[in-house]
Amino acid sequence: MECYSEQTISIFVDGELAGEEAQRLRDHLATCRRCRQLLDALRVENRVLSESLQELPEEAASPAGSPHVPWSFGWGDVAVVAAVLAPGSIVVGWIDKLSIPEALQWLNPFSLNGRTNLFFNLSYYFANGGTAMLGDYAAVIGMIFLLLLLGGSALLLARRWRPQQSGLRLLIVMLALSLPGFALERRHSEFVVTVAANETVDDTLLATGNIVRVEGVVNGDLLAFGQSVEVRGTVKGDLVSFAKRTVVSGTVEGNIYNFSNSLDLDGQLGHSIYGGMQSLRVNDRGRVGGGILVGAGDVSLEGEVTRSATVYAGNADVSGSIGRELTMAGDSLTLTNTARIGGNLSVRVRQLKNVHIAAGATITGARDIQVRVRQSRFARPRFYFYRAVWLAAAMLVGWLGLLLFPGFFQASTQAVGSGWRSLGLGVAVLAGVPVAIILIAITLVGLPLSLMLLAAYLAAIYLAKIWVGAFLGQMLLKSTTATKGDWLLALLVGLLVLTVVGFIPYLGGLVRLGVGCLGLGAFAWQLYRASRRAITI
């Protein structure tokens, strides 16, 4: 009789040959020495397999023969990104050098104006949840982030935190309960919140709405969040405004703390203006009882400022009067014939031709106008010293982290390699956590929590470069072993590379942003995994 195939005998050895056929094979084996030998060899082989599998493969040899440092971007993606970035950075440099008409300056995202504009628009959208400005695409992006964040956390909560996590539920209930107990008067509306002309609010008023309009009297402070905040009546305390546009045509007796795209003061202000804004305008009818300390894209002072004004501004125009000194740093300053400055004038600009002082302007004190030539930072030895300190600090932090949480740090480094996942998660965390912090901070009970979150957020941003640096170093060194020494060496190499790349104009900024996002994403992912394990085990 003919011999059986090796495959059939192999199936027989596995005990998987059907009854009748197995019997026939057994009969054949009794007569065939060759097949018996093959059978024995296959049995031994099975035993070898089972025994070998008793232990796990060495970590260095990851299954499926994937490379030691998995990198799902692939060099092709890197090349595409580089190809887009390189001409991009050239174009950007060109745009920056063009003389763009002042009126269009706000469109240029690389000017001070453009940047403040961008910043305010973005922060406004995030703060407002996008309800007010659905038409604007950025608001939509803000919403998507928010929804992703909320939906994602809800999903994770539902999946991961089982009912025994009663502490968390308690926290949620407490947060919910804290809302009505909030000691302020709160008004909220999707559209307009108004304090009517004949109305008086005795407490501090927290108003959120598309338009917040005060025509009556607020005896306490006014905390306003909205698209547009208008004070036509009187606020006896301070005005804290976070809005796209803030107009004060009535009276604010305290200070104005402003974080708006624009602030127009037509009325009376008892004390001072503090804050950051895209444009600040004190109209000719406006009067500031104290001083001004702001960073702004455009500052226009037409009215009266009793004390001193300190502005960091792209453009500052002064045609009104300032009781004491004017200190200005920025791009350009114009003093018209009607301008009066009661004290010294100190100006720091890049180019002298950007300072225009009309002959009729009155300056009582001394003039101190300095041109700040931006010296190349590479020319100063101090710069290298600080970089060395920075590097040493980062290495120290990396070493400590590795010592204290070896698994976590190495796993985070590996998680960077997941590429798009880390990047996407990182962008979401970078944008989402500030929103979460603001949301938590609004409920007073959550204030400590939001401060802790803020600290963790900042720490994570700092740590991001360490993980990415270590990952990059491992990739460059092709280090396969995971000893601490190797990890630290990889970190040093990676940080050096990142530092050098970070100094390339424009591209460097993008790289730093990318590194931050990647690291944050890896960190968030690792945290999520760690929490999962803690719960399951």
Partner 1 sequence: MRKDRSSREGKATQIEGPDLESVIARAQGHDAEALGEIYRLYVRRVFGLCRYMLESRESAEDATSEVFVKLQRAIESYDGSIPFPRWLLRVAGNQCIDALRRRKRGQQVIVEAAEEVAVIEAASLEPSPLGAVLSREERGQVREAIARLPENYRLPLVMRYYGELSYDEIAQQLGLQRNYVAALLFRAKQELRRKLAHRSK
What is the per-residue binding string for partner 1 in 409-448, x denoting contact by CB under 8 A? --x--xx---------------------------------
Q: Which is nearer to partner 1, 39 or 363 (CB)?
A: 39
Q: Which of 19, 20, 33, 61 binds partner 1 (CB under 8 A)?
A: 61
Under the binding rule (CB under 8 A), the answer on residue 45 touching partner 1 is: yes
How far is Cα 236 from Cα 204, in angstroms, rounded to an integer? 10
User: Within 13 Å of residue 311, how many CA atoms lie on the same side as its CB?
Assistant: 31
Q: Which is nearer to partner 1, 57 or 88 (CB)?
A: 57
Under the binding rule (CB under 8 A), the answer on residue 493 touching partner 1 is: no
Binding piece for partner 1, criterion CB under 8 A, among 42-50, 139-147, 366-374, 515-523: 42-50
Amino acid making up residue 121: N
Smallest separation (angstroms) from partner 1 to the CB of 419: 14
How far is Cα 437 from Cα 371, in angstroms, rounded to an integer? 40
Binding piece for partner 1, criterion CB under 8 A, among 5-13, 287-295, 329-337, 489-497: 5-13
Q: Which of 44, 196, 447, 504 binds partner 1 (CB under 8 A)?
A: 44
Q: Which is nearer to partner 1, 113 or 526 (CB)?
A: 526
Under the binding rule (CB under 8 A), the answer on residue 530 touching partner 1 is: no
Under the binding rule (CB under 8 A), the answer on residue 3 touching partner 1 is: yes
Smallest separation (angstroms) from partner 1 to the CB of 414: 7
Tell me the DSSP string of 141-180: HHHHHHHHHHHHHHHHHHHHS-TT-HHHHHHHHHHHHHTT
Under the binding rule (CB under 8 A), the answer on residue 200 touching partner 1 is: no
Under the binding rule (CB under 8 A), the answer on residue 6 touching partner 1 is: yes
How far is Cα 100 from Cα 223, in angstroms, rounded to an integer? 38
Q: Which is nearer to partner 1, 243 or 415 (CB)?
A: 415
* SS3 sequence of 354-370: HEEECCCCEECCCEEEE
Q: Which of 97, 353, 374, 533 binds partner 1 (CB under 8 A)?
A: 533
How far is Cα 511 from Cα 431, in angstroms, rounded to an integer? 17
Under the binding rule (CB under 8 A), the answer on residue 152 touching partner 1 is: no
Strand order in the sheet with 251-252: 200-201, 217-218, 234-235, 251-252, 268-269, 287-288, 304-305, 321-322, 340-341, 362-363
Smallest separation (angstroms) from partner 1 to the CB of 473: 20
Under the binding rule (CB under 8 A), the answer on residue 4 touching partner 1 is: yes
Smallest separation (angstroms) from partner 1 to the CB of 481: 11
> If DSSP codes are grouped into helix, strand and coil, which group holds residue 52?
helix
Under the binding rule (CB under 8 A), the answer on residue 65 touching partner 1 is: yes
Q: Which is nearer to partner 1, 391 or 411 (CB)?
A: 411
Of 69-88, binders to partner 1 (CB under 8 A) are 70
Under the binding rule (CB under 8 A), the answer on residue 46 touching partner 1 is: yes
How far is Cα 411 from Cα 422, in angstroms, rounded to an integer? 13
Q: Where are the alpha helices (DSSP H) in 443-506?
A: 447-477, 484-502
Under the binding rule (CB under 8 A), the answer on residue 405 touching partner 1 is: no
Residue 57 DSSP class: P
Q: Which of 1, 19, 33, 49 binds partner 1 (CB under 8 A)?
A: 49
Q: Pick from 261, 279, 257, 314: which is nearest to 118 by CA? A: 261
How far is Cα 47 from Cα 33, in angstroms, rounded to an integer? 21
Under the binding rule (CB under 8 A), the answer on residue 64 touching partner 1 is: yes
Q: Which is nearer to partner 1, 318 or 415 (CB)?
A: 415
> If DSSP codes are grouped into helix, strand and coil, which group holds residue 377?
helix
How far is Cα 243 from Cα 132, in angstroms, rounded to an integer? 11
**Taking the chain, what is the end-to-end CA distance rounded to the nearest angstrom?**
59
Q: Which of 26, 27, 48, 372 binds partner 1 (CB under 8 A)?
A: 48
Under the binding rule (CB under 8 A), the answer on residue 197 touching partner 1 is: no
- Is the Cα dihedral 508, 509, 511, 512 positive or negative? positive
Q: In whole angstroms, what separates CA 133 from the centre of its chain?
A: 22
Q: Which residues are near partner 1 by CB under 8 A?
A: 3-8, 10-11, 14, 16, 38, 41-42, 44-59, 61-66, 70, 411, 414-415, 529, 532-533, 536-537
